[in-house]
Amino acid sequence: MHRIMLSTGNIFFSLVLGAIAFGFVFIKFPGTMSSILDIAAGFKAWLTSRGLSAEYNNWVRVLLEERQLVFMGFTIVTRVLMSVLASLGVAMWGRMTN
């Protein structure tokens, strides 16, 4: 049960911290956010030009928007950073207890 709570907490906090990071970059670095959104638009265009059937291509166009892709990216980066910090914390905890 402990591991389930930790993984659920990791997902929840990575979503919250990803939203905070998204907002921070959006407000403090508008040029950077513009570039990131342009990259996301290019990725969406690349994804929709892969030769999928119209049925699947329409779903990709409707469900994937640039801001959603950017938010997913911020959330993934936040989750990776949280995992690295957790690993460092566990390693340091192990050294302190030995």
pLDDT tens column, 20-35: 999 999 999 999 999 9
Burial class (CB in 10 A: 0-12, 13-18, 19+), 32: exposed
d(CA 49, CA 60): 11
**pTM for this predicted structure:** 0.79
pLDDT tens column, 28-73: 999 999 999 999 999 999 988 888 888 888 888 888 889 999 999 9
d(CA 67, CA 74): 10
d(CA 35, CA 13): 26
